[in-house]
Amino acid sequence: MSEPTLPAAKSAGRMNDAMLSSLRPPTLRWYLLAFFLGAVVAWGLYAFGYMVSTDMSCTGLDRPVMWGIFIVNFVFWIGLSHSGTMVSAILRLSRANWRRPILRAAEAMTVFTVTVGALFPLIHLGRNWVFFYLIPYPNQRGLWPNFRSALLWDATAIFTYVIGSSLFLYLGMLPDLAVARDRSAGWRRTLYGALAMGWRGTAREWLIFHKASTLMAALIIPVAVSVHSIVAWDFAVTVVPGWHSTIFPPYFVIGAILSGVAAVITLMVIIRKAFHLEEYLTPLHFDNMGKLLLVIALLWSYAYFVEVQTTWYAHEPIEWEVFSFMAGKYTPALLLMLVGNSLLPLTALCFRRIRRSVGAMLAISLLVNVAMFIERYLIIVPSLSHKNMPFVWGTYFPSWVELSVTAGAFAGFALMYTLFAKCFPMVALTDVRELEARKVLVPFARAELPSIAGKEAGDD
Amino acid sequence: MEKQTSPYRWGMVVDLDRCSGCGACVVACQAENNVAICGKKEIAEGRNMHWLRIERFWVGEYPNVRARFLPVLCQHCRDAPCEPVCPVYASYHNPDGLNGQVYNRCVGTRYCGNNCPYAVRVFNFYSHQWPKPLENQLSPDITVRTRGVMEKCTFCIQRIRRAKEDAGGEGRLIRDGEVQPACAQTCPTEALVFGNLADPRSRVARLVRSPRRFRLLEHLGTHPSVYYLKGGGREHV
């Protein structure tokens, strides 16, 4: 690649400064943002508390639509969590060097979105206070949860993913924490010192670190694929018309990656602006992420087409009823979904100028995620509204409680991310500098000699 | 077919040619099973708690319109979609072929309610109260369900249990007609008949052999224990 993936060579100290800029003491604006997000989270918690202390009649749920926007949120957030694995693990394994400055943002997003997503199955329970019945723990009655239930598979897969992605994030951050430790004082030094686990940067440590990162990257991909397949099975293994479909697992995985990649682009724009990282997150990165998004949007369009065309061709009465009801009642939402997930990315992202325009990429990536939220809504709600018995067809609209909890979830994610950015290195510092070490010419007396650090296989 | 470990396989026949749509079964069920009392508001919201509903359909064009009634209760499927999806075994299959529901085990995921093709499972969205003096009518044999719990028709399992105890004391099996759920007991036209399908001489087993019989949503392969009878006529229910 002719275009440099790094800014012009700088001293190590200046690079560290720039990339650790997020760790500087918080400004007033940061406090205002954190306070605002905290207030929205508090409101969401109040709404949830209200639901728990009264009863579930404050939701919009009824018979037959017994799952609503809580489950939409669940699928949406778990979908977003595929960003870290996709962007980080796959690009790490394929040794795409441009990935380096965005690694951390993507990996951290995975951890926080999967945390938010995992809360929703607990939030939506009718009796949240006995949620531990779902956990396989030894008890005096010898009762185990039902492993035939897709919800148990869910719990297992998500728990594995939470642990796996947290380890993935932490492992990648280890050398950066050591840098932060060496540059800080006071309580921060103690904190980073403990977290860096005595990292010294010896050759042996680096060797082990590289092996471990590659191994983790390879292991986290099947976990991510299985997580969203299992989320899809929540629907696919039922007998509900519109849900019972074999295309669901791959279709959900593709949808998850689509929303994940789009969310990484959104966060890249925000982080670039907030921490003045224009030198590190260049149009090249947006160009490459745009190409990735284009490919995934193509895959998504294909999967959606297959899903609809088999239903249309078979024309099974009740399945077709669900589709026509959805297309009739939710026409604007359906159109927005098709534009946001398919038509717009497929046309706009073909143009290099659009892929390289930060503003356009922000707009497209936001629209993709709005469309993905709608997509989940249109899968879950219309299918339940028109099930097999026409006498109990119904409708659903989320209530203030459900919308407040949803707003609280978005704010909660943003708050966790904001706090994380202030406490931990937001750019994968050592990853970026590793690349620099390979490329740079080392000044040697009056001559400049190429660095002895070898080229990684696959480097250009 | 799974191995039969119990001498009973409870089932019901609903003769649609006899049903007049009077709704006595719905009332009897409510009185027997501590089913919560719902007001106009709850029913308008689609949150009524009836375990048994009478679906009414209009057939034909005006002025030749006729009403058709379809009582729908839990079909007690042999391969019930509600059972495998419950993560805590609140919904389970008992040896008599009933779909049991353990209220104090239920955590309210409502997965069973979504997966029931007959939509006969009702969820306690409200924290229900029994205004005085109606609380005196509550049956001590049945749990009063709290909010956040799924419930549904049990074929009046408390009556079956009592009949089993009586029969067991005398060292015999339950006789045909000895036990019947509140809905069947109340039906004035005897459209609902309950009994043991495992006994080929029982009234219900004889009715099931009728050429008029069909089952709801048979194509789904749920194998319900509730059979419907509907004869000739040009209109279908």
Instruction: Nearest chain B residue to A55 by CA: give it.
Output: B126
Q: In chain A, what residues touch B105 (CB-CB under 8 Å)?
A: 133, 143
Overall average pLDDT of the B104-119 stretch: 93
Residue A21 within any structural domain of the chain: no
Instruction: Give pLDDT, residue A32.
Output: 92
> Cβ–Cβ of A388/B117 closer than 8 Å?
yes
Are the C-beta atoms of residues A289 and A263 closer than 8 Å to each other? no
| More reliable by pLDDT, A253 or A459 | A253
Residues linked to residue B55 through DSSP beta bridges, in sequence order: B70
Lowest mean pLDDT among A173-182, A271-280, A286-295, A312-321: A271-280
Which range among A279-288, B2-11, B38-47, B193-202 has the greatest average pLDDT?
Answer: B193-202
Distance between CA atoms of residues A89 and A6, nearest Å:
21
Instruction: Nearest chain B residue to A388 by CA: give it.
Output: B117
Instruction: Give pLDDT, residue B237.
Output: 42
Instruction: Give pLDDT, residue A445.
Output: 66
Residue A82 within any structural domain of the chain: yes
Distance between CA atoms of residues A156 and A274, nearest Å:
37
Residue A22: which pLDDT band, with cuts at 50, 70 and 90? low
A121 touches chain B (CB under 8 A): yes
Instruction: Give pLDDT, residue A173.
Output: 86
Cα–Cα separations (whole angstroms), residue B95 to B2, B7, B197: 10, 9, 13
Strands A447-450 and A441-444: antiparallel
Residue A253 within any structural domain of the chain: yes
- Give the dihedral sign, CA B123/B125/B130/B131: negative
**Any idea what the CATH number is for the domain that residue A312 is in?**
1.20.1630.10
Tokens of B100: 């049991």
Residue A19 within any structural domain of the chain: no
**What phi, psi does A448 have (nearest 5°)?**
-120, 125
What does pLDDT average to over chain A? 86
Distance between CA atoms of residues A293 and A264, nearest Å:
10
Instruction: Give pLDDT, residue A86.
Output: 73
pLDDT digits (tens, 9 = 90+) for A148-160: 999 999 989 999 9
Sequence-distant (6+) residues with CB within 8 A of B30 are: B37, B50, B51
Distance between CA atoms of residues B6 and B4, nearest Å:
6
Residues from B contacting A (CB-CB < 8 Å) are 42, 45-47, 53, 55, 57, 70, 72, 81, 84-89, 105-111, 113-115, 117-119, 121-127, 146-150, 217, 220, 222
Cα–Cα separations (whole angstroms), residue A123 to A45, A51, A154, A242, A342: 10, 9, 15, 25, 32
pLDDT digits (tens, 9 = 90+) for A180-218: 888 877 888 888 888 888 888 888 888 898 899 888 888
Instruction: Give pLDDT, residue B14.
Output: 95
Q: CA-based Rg of chain B, rounded to a whole angstrom?
A: 18
Strands B10-15 and B226-229: parallel
> Cβ–Cβ of A134/B88 closer than 8 Å?
yes
Instruction: Give pLDDT, residue A272.
Output: 85
Lowest mean pLDDT among A80-89, A221-230, B54-63: A80-89
Number of domains forming the structure of chain A: 1
Q: In chain A, what residues touch B89 (CB-CB under 8 Å)?
A: 143, 145-146
- What torsion do the CA atoms of B119, B123, B128, B134 make, to the nearest 10 degrees? 40
Instruction: Give pLDDT, residue A11.
Output: 64
Which domains does chain B possess?
10-229 (3.30.70.20)
pLDDT digits (tens, 9 = 90+) for B16-33: 999 999 999 999 999 999
> Cβ–Cβ of A127/B149 closer than 8 Å?
yes
> Is the per-residue pLDDT at A460 higher than 50?
no
Are the C-beta atoms of residues A442 and A451 closer than 8 Å to each other? yes
Instruction: Give pLDDT, residue A457.
Output: 46
Residue of A54, A66, A401 for testing the chain B interface, max B β-carbons within 10 Å: A66
**Residue span of the structural domain in which A255 resides:** 27-431
Size of interface A-B (CB pairs under 8 A): 135
Residue A452 within any structural domain of the chain: no
> Is the per-residue pLDDT at A234 higher than 70?
yes
pLDDT digits (tens, 9 = 90+) for B62-74: 888 888 899 999 9
Q: Which of A54, A126, A384 sits opposite B108 (nearest CB)?
A: A126
| More reliable by pLDDT, A326 or A432 | A326
Residue A441 within any structural domain of the chain: no
> Cβ–Cβ of A126/B111 closer than 8 Å?
no
Overall average pLDDT of the A328-332 stretch: 94
Are the C-beta atoms of residues A441 and A428 closer than 8 Å to each other? no
One-letter amino acid at B20 equals S
pLDDT digits (tens, 9 = 90+) for A37-91: 999 999 999 999 999 999 899 999 998 999 999 999 999 999 998 877 777 887 7
Residue A246 within any structural domain of the chain: yes
Residue A47 within any structural domain of the chain: yes
Overall average pLDDT of the A157-169 stretch: 90
Q: Which of A63, A126, A149 sits opposite B85 (nearest CB)?
A: A149
Overall average pLDDT of the A101-117 stretch: 88
Question: Chain B neighbours among A 219-248 (CB < 8 Å)?
Answer: 237-240
User: Taking the mean position of all CA atoms in its chain, how far away is CA A184?
Assistant: 30
Residue A440: which pLDDT band, with cuts at 50, 70 and 90? low
> Is the per-residue pLDDT at A449 higher than 80?
no
> Is the per-residue pLDDT at A451 higher than 60?
no
Sequence-distant (6+) residues with CB within 8 A of A117 are: A73, A74, A75, A76, A77, A78, A80, A81, A158
Q: In chain A, what residues touch B114 (CB-CB under 8 Å)?
A: 64, 66-67, 238, 240, 384
Instruction: Give pLDDT, residue B39.
Output: 87
| More reliable by pLDDT, A112 or A276 | A112
Distance between CA atoms of residues A295 and A300, nearest Å:
9
